[in-house]
Structure 1
Amino acid sequence: MTSEEFRRHGYQAIDWIAAFLDHADRYPVVPPVQPGELTDALPAQGPERGEPMDAIVADFERLIVPAMTQWNHPGFMAYFANSSPPEAILGELLAAALNGNGMLWKTSPAVTELEQVTLRWLRHWSGLPDDWFGMIHDTASTASMHAIAAAREAADPSSRTRGATPGLVVYTSEQSHSSIEKGAIAVGIGQDNVRRVPVDSEFRMRPDALADLIVRDLAAGLRPCCVTATVGTTSTTSVDPVPAIADLCRRHHLWLHVDAAYAGSAALVPELRWAFEGCERADSFVTNPHKWLMTPMDCSVFYTSRPEVLRRAFSLIPEYLRTADNPRAVNLMDYGVPLGRRFRALKLWFVLRSYGREGLVNSIREHVRLAREFACRVDADPRFERVAPVPFSVVCFRYKGSDAENRAILDRVNSTGEVFISGTVLNGRFTLHLAVGNRATTQAHVDRAWELIRAL
């Protein structure tokens, strides 16, 4: 492709993206396709000779886009809604053009240093400790795995060379994300050594139950090493009592990891800062700007107060990657599994600069307002019940009927193509889950969701 051809197709792509963002709701949120339908529509073999870009783009519009679940749709209110605004898209485009690989400082100084600067800004806006070390991973699942690996290193330094000693134990809430168990599996601790701590009536980890489990495991000769507390659990966005959990971790010398993948962005909002009390005592902390901070997939921010432990767990420098020591030249490959690192910080930098702290705070506040207003409507309708508090922008509720009836409501609402909500199970009952988090979602979209839900 020549420069002139690139300009022509590039202008067309930007025009397409602008029109798409303006009218993402012209597509159904969930595509009406069946498994394998796209696979069958595409050629079984790749082309022998290159094809013209016009044909490729035409197939993109004809085949790919209609098979996409539209996460940029204002009616997307399932799971944790997210956004991909124009500012971030431009940052991602430029990152692809630069094609930097930040495995070492010298391989892309800007990739490494912009990541450190951007995460310093975010840390300051979030009220987190100034001395925390930060880096960007793809997802919170990867970040939490690194936290568990660091906890293993702190408790059992020989595990790096000999493998994990049997008997290490990880603790997490019954409501925590499945990635914690996967992380324990990945680093060799094992799923059987993950304790699922009971929760209270508001789905928060019970410190008394955690204390009992730790004491029981110590008496059995096991070695507790890590506790994961959650600020904004996956099903209900409940907030674990981090101060009390931190006290237990300090008493028993355990690594405290805080999973704030969804709710971490709320730390920017002064009136929501209560949810992060005690997080400054954590050994590690993860938050995903790609969930609620206007940043497209993928961008997961991982902080630690003990980077030396993380480095001890992962630093492995073959001769071909050895560089001169300089305290200001951070080699991020030393702090995790990945060697190659793409320029994720650029899109986040574009977002932080273009929105500013004030713009991001206003966006989060509006999402919380919309969710709480929706919760009030649920509370006011005698046919429905809310089954969890609403600390952020997620509402868990159900029709006062059978699980089958609630699943039918979910299926009917989602089949309209206008709105997409999800479900979970709380206290053994199927529950509807509505999340406000897309930049384009307005009062009218939330009103429409409620209209569809209550049209029994």
Structure 2
Amino acid sequence: MLSDAIGCIGFSWAASPACTELETIVLDWYAKAIALPTDFLSDSSLNNSESSLSGGGVIQGSASECVLVTMLAARSQAIRSMKEQDPWTEDSAFLPRLVAYCSTESHSCVEKAAMISLVKLRILEPDDKCCLRGEILETAISEDLAHGLVPFYVATSLGSTGCCAFDNLLEIGPICKKFPGTWLHVDGAYAGNAFICPEMRHLMSGIEYADSFNTNPNKWLLVNFDCSCLWVRDRLQLTSALAVDPLYLQHANSAESIDYRHWGIPLSRRFRALKLWFVMRCYGISGLQNYIRNHIRLAQRFEAKLLNDLRFELLNKVHAGLVCFRLRGSDELNQELLANINASGRLHMIPARVRGKYTLRFCVVHEHASEEQIDLAFKTILEQVAELLSSPRETQPLEQHLSVGKSPKSPTPLDKKLVRKFSFTRSVTRDAYKRSRSKTSLHDGATPITVLEESSRPRTSPTHSVVDTIDEDGVFCDER
């Protein structure tokens, strides 16, 4: 409330000294709390840089902004380097040669940032644990160099959106150093907050190779939206790409102070630092650690319950507060299960595709979550599973599954539209489904998952069995 009520427009130190200085101080606090390398601190007396100006932090509106501004900074750095070899070429002529990299588990904001930056994006396959590995990245970079392209940016994740996977920075970092001018960005939007707990920091091994890092306290540190923290190792690389300094915005203290208008896209800025300051002062580091640890403990309790029931399949290793699971069976079965759970109003989950499978995501989010609530959530899921599996399933279409075999006490069956709504899926034609699956595209955790509409599903017959499948290259196959 105070952050909204204070009517400052903190684009520069002159416009609002308190807004600027508190943001600098609080982000140094938070960087130390999550054990970021000292090169990311604004306080030059604490970092290891020989320059009086080194790194620093800034609060952006979202992780999407963090990825975009760092990609723009990396692009500017790459173009300056290419201009040294070819000074008479226009900047725009270099853009078709620039290529960025990420894994299929990266957030869709990386794809959007590449679109805005007018650069190529190469989306790489992770390993069987959904982690991007150094060997895959090195092979891709070498191939692109052989074709005359210029690698300039690698986006990695510590806690991916779909299944909270952690990319291998210890392998990726040296690869980026091997190819000079390649900016390494680390997105820890959700799980990055957990590094406030020392026992979680092994998951950020290799962070010393990063050029930038972001995490969102509004996702897992009791701060309301919007509050996305970005740190850079070299602030001049960022500000030189974004600085526009007309006369009417200049002031006498520009040389000695930070003007955050040069650190992002907007000119005017809200007093976001006040929100983070209040949370850190009210809870303290130990209070925030206890909050994170409780969520992890409860998620692992839920994981243990799943492992004790052979009907369920676990899709991720539970490091944070997210558990990805599904019933052993078809995607349609799991879509129906999620729809029924969400329609009950007792529990809410959203899906993801993990290793090609439709997956339910259980995330502990309530501040004061308890074991009793976790047990109740699992009981709710078991009730819906029992109701679902009591229905005859053989070869009936989905809408029939929802309407037969129910007991008199069962709730009103969901029609097909409600199933789509509550399972967060979007029904498309066979051709549209084929195009969507053959194109490698990133997900955002909010866009509905594409599935075949019922009229496009082949029907089985006694004499001919047809099964829709996707082969390893993403090509739609009619029969197998």
Q: What band does the TM-score fall into relative to the shorter chain?
A: 0.7 to 0.9
- Asked if 1:200 is matched to 2:130, the reply is no
Pairwise CA distance, 1:242: 0.5
Report if the CA contact (8 A) 2:322-2:364 is conserved: yes
2:358 to 430, 439, 443: 430
Matches within 5 A, 1:177-192: 177-189=107-119
Report if the CA contact (8 A) 1:197-1:206 is conserved: no
Matches within 5 A, 1:325-336: 325-336=253-264
Equivalent residue, structure 2, for 1:136: 59
For normalisation by structure 2, the TM-score amounts to 0.73
Gaps of 5+ in 2: 41-55, 84-88, 386-480
Pairwise CA distance, 1:206: 2.2
**Corresponding letter in the other structure for 1:165:** L
- Cα deviation digits, residues 200-252 of structure 1 (max 9, x gap): 11110022111110000000000000111110000111110011101000000
Equivalent residue, structure 2, for 1:170: 100
Equivalent residue, structure 2, for 1:26: none
**Corresponding letter in the other structure for 1:171:** Y
Pairwise CA distance, 1:154: 1.3
2:144 to 185, 192, 217: 217
Equivalent residue, structure 1, for 2:6: 98
Tell which deviates more after alignment, 218-227 or 150-159: 150-159
- Cα deviation digits, residues 358-416 of structure 1 (max 9, x gap): 00000000000000110111111011110121111111111012111111111111112
Equivalent residue, structure 2, for 1:357: 285
Secondary structure of residue in 2 paired with 1:274: helix
User: Does 1 or 2 have the higher relative contact order (CA < 8 Å, sep 6+)?
Assistant: 1
Equivalent residue, structure 1, for 2:73: 150
Equivalent residue, structure 2, for 1:322: 250
Cα pair distance change 1:369/1:125, threshold 3 Å = same
Give, in whole Å, the separation in 2 of the partners of 1:421 and 1:116.
37
Gaps of 5+ in 1: 1-92
Cα pair distance change 1:234/1:210, threshold 3 Å = same
1:264 to 192, 198, 208: 192
For normalisation by structure 1, the TM-score amounts to 0.77
**Corresponding letter in the other structure for 2:17:** P
Secondary structure of residue in 2 paired with 1:113: helix
Report if the CA contact (8 A) 2:60-2:264 is conserved: no
Select the structure that is richer in helix. Answer: 1
- Asked if 1:304 is matched to 2:227, the reply is no
Give, in whole Å, the separation in 2 of the partners of 1:227 and 1:317.
29
Equivalent residue, structure 2, for 1:17: none
Report if the CA contact (8 A) 1:403-1:429 is conserved: yes
- Cα deviation digits, residues 308-348 of structure 1 (max 9, x gap): 11111011111110112455421111122110000011011
**Corresponding letter in the other structure for 1:218:** L
Secondary structure of residue in 2 paired with 1:378: helix
2:273 to 341, 345, 348: 345
**Corresponding letter in the other structure for 2:77:** A
Pairwise CA distance, 1:152: 0.5
2:348 to 405, 420, 425: 420
Report if the CA contact (8 A) 1:175-1:199 is conserved: yes
Secondary structure of residue in 2 paired with 1:385: strand
Report if the CA contact (8 A) 2:346-2:380 is conserved: no
**Corresponding letter in the other structure for 1:162:** D
Equivalent residue, structure 2, for 1:123: 31
- Cα deviation digits, residues 244-302 of structure 1 (max 9, x gap): 10100000021000000011101100110001111122101010000000001110000
Give, in whole Å, the separation in 2 of the partners of 1:103 and 1:137.
12
Pairwise CA distance, 1:417: 1.6
**Corresponding letter in the other structure for 1:399:** L
Secondary structure of residue in 1 paired with 2:163: coil
Tell which deviates more after alignment, 418-427 or 175-184: 418-427
Equivalent residue, structure 2, for 1:60: none
- Cα deviation digits, residues 97-127 of structure 1 (max 9, x gap): 2211110111111111110011010001111
Pairwise CA distance, 1:161: 7.8
Equivalent residue, structure 2, for 1:49: none
Tell which deviates more after alignment, 349-358 or 414-423: 414-423
- Cα deviation digits, residues 46-68 of structure 1 (max 9, x gap): xxxxxxxxxxxxxxxxxxxxxxx
Equivalent residue, structure 1, for 2:43: none
Give, in whole Å, the separation in 1 of the partners of 2:140 and 2:283.
45
Identity of aligned residues (%): 38
**Corresponding letter in the other structure for 2:34:** S
Secondary structure of residue in 2 paired with 1:249: helix
- Cα deviation digits, residues 401-438 of structure 1 (max 9, x gap): 21111111111111122211111112222111111132
Cα pair distance change 1:360/1:102, threshold 3 Å = same
Cα pair distance change 1:129/1:327, threshold 3 Å = farther
Equivalent residue, structure 1, for 2:178: 251
Equivalent residue, structure 2, for 1:231: 158
Secondary structure of residue in 1 paired with 2:184: strand
Q: Is the radius of gyration larger for structure 1 or structure 2?
A: 2
How well do the aligned residues superpose, as a CA RMSD in angstroms?
1.5
**Corresponding letter in the other structure for 1:366:** N
Give, in whole Å, the separation in 1 of the partners of 2:208 and 2:256.
25
Give, in whole Å, the separation in 1 of the partners of 2:255 and 2:26.
19
**Corresponding letter in the other structure for 1:194:** L
Equivalent residue, structure 2, for 1:291: 219
Give, in whole Å, the separation in 2 of the partners of 1:97 and 1:161.
46
